[in-house]
Amino acid sequence: MAQPTELRRWLLQEGSSLQLLCLAFLLPLLLFVVITTCARGDPKKKQPPSPRKLPIIGNLHQLGSLPHRSLRSLSQKHGPLMLLRLGQVPTLVVSSAEAAREAMTTRDLVFATRPPSKAVDVLSYGSKNVTFAPYGEHWRQAKKAAIVHLLGPKKVQSFRGVRAQEVAAMVEGIAWAAASSPTGVVVDLREAFHKFAHALISRVVLGRCSAGDGRNKAFREVIEEAKSAAAGLRFVEAFPSLAWLGTLLRADSKLRKVFKKWDSLLSQVVEEHERRGPEGDEVAAEGDFVDALLSIHRDPAMGFPLSMDHVKGIFVDLVAAGTSTSYTLLDWAMAELVRNPGEMERAQREIREIVIGGKPMATEDDVAQMSYLRAVIKEVLRLHPPVPLLLPRESMEDTQLQGYHVPRKTRLLVNAWAIARDPASWEAPEVFRPDRFLGCQTDFRGSDFEFIPFGAGRRICPGISFFAISGIELALANLLYRFDWALPGAVVVEDFDMDEAPGNTVRRKSGLRLVAIPYNPKLPKCQLIRDIRTPVGCEKNFSGTLVSLT
């Protein structure tokens, strides 16, 4: 046993080590508390109402797994404009059309930038994209390039053939499976929608270089991995002074592994585009979107200096955002219709009265006449905006909003989900009732602030026309035209699961498996549509044209 003097010496030595260890942990904590305290707003200036905060974490504990719902509950107690502190980040939450209008019109320029994000920065080549780019010349020019070469009205119209082909591929795949059973077959619609959305967006962005289910599958897998990896940094990003925790928890390394997969896939796409010209593909007769970006990259005189990282960053932006938005919206639409058979029957009756003469598919010209179908899509967007909390903005200078002082570097969150369910703007806001939009001029293009699923102002989603309308309308019209739909087995409407899954893009928690019953078995199983992706069971002739098997 150690002698008393030796024991005292050991305690003194070990005590010093323990003190140093405690200091190593307490000093960053003390620094954090000081920074958080100093970051509080000026008490002399009128601050927005705020729920009670906890030390250090502020209001983080009140967000829950579905923040759009938690924030609506808080706004009902504290008002439609409230100030939260999410960790170290002051965050202004908007939950009314009136406050949203002021923030995205009168104060739009002040709130025109995005807050920094480590996850976005890594995955989008230093935020060299459109959606998350900081406000400035790069953002303006990147948005201009996206609209001119992909998202503008003329380009959207030029992709009619692509949309028709991809919708036909999805519908014919279901029809082939259902043809063997006149009473219908259970279809995994979520998987069908995911494949459809990714194939459609990849084709218009990549042209011929999108060909192949293997590559599409690889992109889809990386997108899901990226979402998971980014989630690991959310807590750390609420505490900028503790950024080193990202490295300690290995969240950074997970994100960089996903980025390497992204970059490898995108490098293959770029190499293929550079090896071939735009000619030879009906879809890309004038060159696809990547061709256009590469042209600007090679010749800055065409627009603005565009590095290869810009090309890849913009591509990641469009494919990831467009895919999740499109298939999530289709999933919610079919879920609401199967829960409301009266509305489904009304939509089908309208479609089948317009698409006459035994036509195998509804066209976009037909869809233009379908007022109730378009009302259905608007109602789905109202109840289930794909991104219920619009992407965050950040104030670039001190400003005023609704009479309250808002300091520079305050994050702005607009709860589009809560606004679209506000009883002050909507009658029976929780009820699925598409006819509320019949004869109503309210639209989702950013002018009607009680209905802003895609935002408004400078940072409105530039892909509304393409991602939210054209492909979705055509797909839903043909699914309702070609099939009757029912719940499988013993499932009843009252038990149908409409719970939401957590995430930035909020989808249903459960899958979507419905019974597809062929509406008209005399319709051909495959159509003479050139260059369509072959559904299972169809054969191609030597010209690459699908041959009807009837």
Distance CA 410, CA 110 (A): 11
Which pLDDT value is given to residue 520? Answer: 67
Which pLDDT value is given to residue 224? Answer: 83
Flag whether pLDDT at 119 surpasses 60. yes
Q: Which residue, among 148, 48, 22, 156, has the nearest Cα to 412 in the 3D structure?
A: 48
Distance CA 26, CA 391 (A): 35
* Phi, psi of 440, deg, nearest 5: -110, 135
Q: Which residue, among 169, 179, 162, has the nearest Cα to 523 in the 3D structure?
A: 179
User: Taking residues 126-147, what's their average pLDDT?
Assistant: 88
**Residue 480 in tokens:** 């309702």
Long-range own/partner contacts, residues 38-44 (CB < 8 A, 24 or more apart):
39/88, 39/90, 41/83, 41/90, 41/405, 41/407, 42/405, 42/407
Q: Which residues is 94 bridged to in the sheet?
A: 81, 414
Largest CA distance in the chain: 104
Q: What is the DSSP letter of 406?
A: E
Q: Which of 74-88, 338-352, 513-527 has the lowest mean pLDDT?
A: 513-527
Distance CA 169, CA 163 (A): 10
**Residue 18 in tokens:** 């323990």
- What domains can be seen in the chain, in order of their start residue? 60-518 (1.10.630.10)
Flag whether pLDDT at 323 surpasses 90. no
Flag whether pLDDT at 353 surpasses 90. yes
CB atoms within 10 A of CB 40: 11
CA distances to 6, 294, 476 from 141, in Å = 73, 15, 34
> Would you say 461 is a known binding-site residue?
yes
Q: Residue 474: exposed, middle, or buried by beta-carbon count in 10 A (0-12, 13-18, 19+)?
A: buried
Q: Are strands 411-414 and 89-94 parallel, antiparallel or unpaired?
A: parallel
**Angle subtended at Cα 286 by Cα 284 and Cα 291, rounded to the nearest 5 degrees:** 75
Residues 6+ apart with CB under 8 A from 156: 465, 466, 470
284 pLDDT band, cuts 50/70/90, is very low
Q: What is the DSSP letter of 525?
A: S
Predicted TM-score (pTM) of this structure: 0.85
14 or 55: which leads in pLDDT:
55
Angle between helices 471-482 and 160-178 (to 10 degrees): 30
CA distances to 134, 187, 232 from 392, in Å = 11, 37, 18
3-state SS string for 116-150: CCHHHHHHCCCCCCCCCCCCCHHHHHHHHHHHHHH
Q: Is 191 helix (H, G, I), strand (E, B) or coil?
A: helix
Flag whether pLDDT at 312 surpasses 80. yes
Which pLDDT value is given to residue 431? Answer: 97
**Residue 12 in tokens:** 């003194």
CB atoms within 10 A of CB 135: 18
Q: Which residues is 513 bridged to in the sheet?
A: 188
Residues 6+ apart with CB under 8 A from 388: 68, 415, 416, 417, 506
Which pLDDT value is given to residue 352? Answer: 95
Flag whether pLDDT at 546 surpasses 50. no
Q: Are strands 513-518 and 483-486 parallel, antiparallel or unpaired?
A: antiparallel
Q: Which residue, among 508, 342, 353, 327, has the nearest Cα to 434 in the 3D structure?
A: 342
Flag whether pLDDT at 120 surpasses 80. yes
**Residue 186 in tokens:** 């259970």
Angle between helices 289-298 and 251-275 (to 10 degrees): 90
Which pLDDT value is given to residue 10? Answer: 42
Q: What is the DSSP letter of 389?
A: B
Distance CA 268, CA 290 (A): 12
Q: Are 274 and 311 within 8 A, CB to CB?
A: no
Which pLDDT value is given to residue 11? Answer: 39
Q: Which residues is 414 bridged to in the sheet?
A: 94
Which pLDDT value is given to residue 2? Answer: 45
User: Taking residues 311-325, what's their average pLDDT?
Assistant: 83
Flag whether pLDDT at 374 surpasses 70. yes
CA distances to 147, 221, 496 from 256, in Å = 30, 15, 39
Out of 12-21, 113-122, 308-317, 379-388, the most confident range is 379-388
Q: Which of 153-167, 324-338, 410-424 has the lowest mean pLDDT?
A: 153-167
| E runs forming strands in 189-310 | none
